[in-house]
Amino acid sequence: MINNIVINIEGLTKTYDKFTAVDEISFTVNEGEVFALLGPNGAGKTTTVEIIECLKTPDKGKVEIFGIDLKDKKKQNDVKRKIGVMPQNFNAFDWLTVKENLDYFRDLYSSKISTDELINLVGLGEKMNSMYKTLSGGTKQRVGIAISLINEPELLFLDEPTAGLDPKARRETWNLIRKLKEQGKTIFLTTHYMEEAQELSDRILIIIEGKIVAGGSPNELIENYGGNKSVILKNCNKKILEDRGIKYEAGIENQIQIIFDNNEQLFNILSAVTDDPNVEIEIKKPNLDEAFLNLTGRRINAEGLAK
Ligand SMILES: Nc1ncnc2c1ncn2[C@@H]1O[C@H](COP(=O)(O)OP(=O)(O)OP(=O)(O)O)[C@@H](O)[C@H]1O
Ligand SMILES: [Mg+2]
């Protein structure tokens, strides 16, 4: 089956005064997929999504959503009606309850979906009558997702939907995003969390300083850039390895690293040290973190800063 392209971006560029925030980027998003724009603070993620959401005008490049070229300002309204948007740092009315907030936005959009349906969809039943101000970060984000679903969009933009959430709340949001994908929605996500991009996305585009660094499915990125599989051994007698002809690299703190390709090699390494109870064993598999490091020479910390 040929993929239906819902977003087509060619040579997109956006400058703020003389600063180029998005620099000649091109990509497509297919119908029904979760697509993640992954990058550190200031990479140009929000600028890119806000252009696609018809909120900002690019300096250069082509942006087509559902086959509609956004240069045609009159047709932008057709696009806006079909998309849902949860902005970065979303906020609703502090002194209204969840239900009152949703009722308000539903009225604005003449929404066909009922408030109860929305509340069930995003799992806010227990919090329906709680004041928005009193909600946890994860629950507030759920209200944001509920509001973005009010016009029953085919395409949903979630700009850093789990930033600042604790691991439990983050996983709950991931489950909600998976549920929305199962309903057939196309989801465009921005994130600086490697794990989030890896867990949720069908395809990932890595951007840094406004430029594309690499793109592909999580597995493709890990296979191509994620490095080698290796065993890390601590407190190991090197002679045992040498006797068996196992090549190793010595590291700091009495650690050694042995790269392997297949299970047979792994078994050979482990059987060499199995009789020594002092040896600590760690098996490292390639992951997106390593791929990102290999591609960019940097890691992203929890705050989204690249170091
Ligand atoms: N309105 C603006 N005027 C001037 N510079 C801007 C403006 N908006 C964004 N920038 C700059 O453009 C760059 C890209 O910003 P953008 O918000 O798109 O990045 P981001 O990847 O979403 O970052 P974050 O992870 O912090 O949300 C940053 O250096 C930012 O400071
Ligand atoms: Mg942003």
Domains in the chain (CATH in brackets) are: 5-218 (3.40.50.300), 228-285 (3.30.70)
Mapped onto helix, strand or coil, the DSSP state of residue 210 is coil
Q: Atom of ligand 1 at shortest distance to CA of 43?
A: 21
Closest CA to 88 of 36, 199, 163: 163
Residues with CB under 5 A from ligand 2 (ion): 45-46, 88
Residue among 46, 52, 160 to mutate when testing ligand 1 (max atoms within 8 A of CB): 46
> What value does the mean pLDDT take over residues 76-84?
94
Position 238 pLDDT exceeds 70: yes
Is 88 close to ligand 1, i.e. is its CB under 6 Å away? yes
- The alpha carbon of 74 is separated from its chain's Cα centroid by a whole number of angstroms, namely 32
Q: Atom of ligand 1 at shortest distance to CA of 160?
A: 27
164 band by pLDDT with thresholds 50, 70 and 90: confident
Question: Which pLDDT belongs to residue 305?
Answer: 85
- Report the percent of the chain where pLDDT is more than 90: 85
Closest CA to 16 of 53, 54, 50: 50
Is 138 close to ligand 1, i.e. is its CB under 6 Å away? no
Q: Give me 198's structure tokens.
A: 């890896």
Mean pLDDT value across the chain: 93
Q: Rounded to whole angstroms, how far apart are CA atoms 12 and 223?
A: 28
Question: Tens digit of pLDDT for each residue in 47-73?
Answer: 999 999 999 999 999 999 999 999 999
Which ligand has an atom closest to residue 20 CA? 1
Question: Which pLDDT belongs to residue 80?
Answer: 94
Which ligand has an atom closest to residue 207 CA? 1
User: Which residues in 18-33 are b (16+ Cβ under 10 Å) and which e?
Assistant: eebbbbebebebeebb
Is 192 close to ligand 1, i.e. is its CB under 6 Å away? yes
Is 89 close to ligand 1, i.e. is its CB under 6 Å away? no
Is 115 close to ligand 1, i.e. is its CB under 6 Å away? no
